[in-house]
Amino acid sequence: MDYAEIDTIRNQFQAGEWPQFLQMVSIDGLRGWTDQSVEFNFPVVAVVGENGSGKSTLLKAATCVYDQENKDKKFFPSSFFVDTHWDKIKGVTFTYRLKRGPNIDSFRVSKPTKRWRDPDNAPKRNVYLLDISRTLPLDASAGYAKIA
């Protein structure tokens, strides 16, 4: 761990040099999430947990708050959270809190029934998601292949 880099980020953050970052994501009604919130009190965080604990759900929900400058690259909740024969997604709400300069704004994305509803005033920011779910260590993947 590079403590000097952490100190640099902390000093930048305390000096107000991080003008925009996601402060909180709340998920209700999706994959076992029942109105739970995750607060990000620092602009750089690590999300760690056991398999199936909701890390990917949290990160995918977080990508959906922003409106990309390039509309072809926008992340839609319907791309991540799809209806299947055995799982109909409805009654879902994502609530976000963003720090933008001196302001703290809240946004909401929801799927009350059949269609996702995005906020009209979604903040603009390019988001990059590198989804490495299903990446297993070599020794684990050999055993997984036998089971599959």
| Domain layout of the chain by residue ranges | 3-147
What per-residue confidence (pLDDT) applies to 38? 95
Distance (Å, whole) CA 67 – CA 126: 8
Instruction: Quote the tokens at residue 47.
Output: 């999300």
Q: Which of the residues in the chain have pLDDT under 70?
A: 1, 133-148
pTM greater than 0.85 (yes/no): no
What per-residue confidence (pLDDT) applies to 20? 84
Please give the CATH number for the structural domain made up of 3-147. Answer: 3.40.50
Paired with 67 in beta bridges are: 124
What per-residue confidence (pLDDT) applies to 109? 95
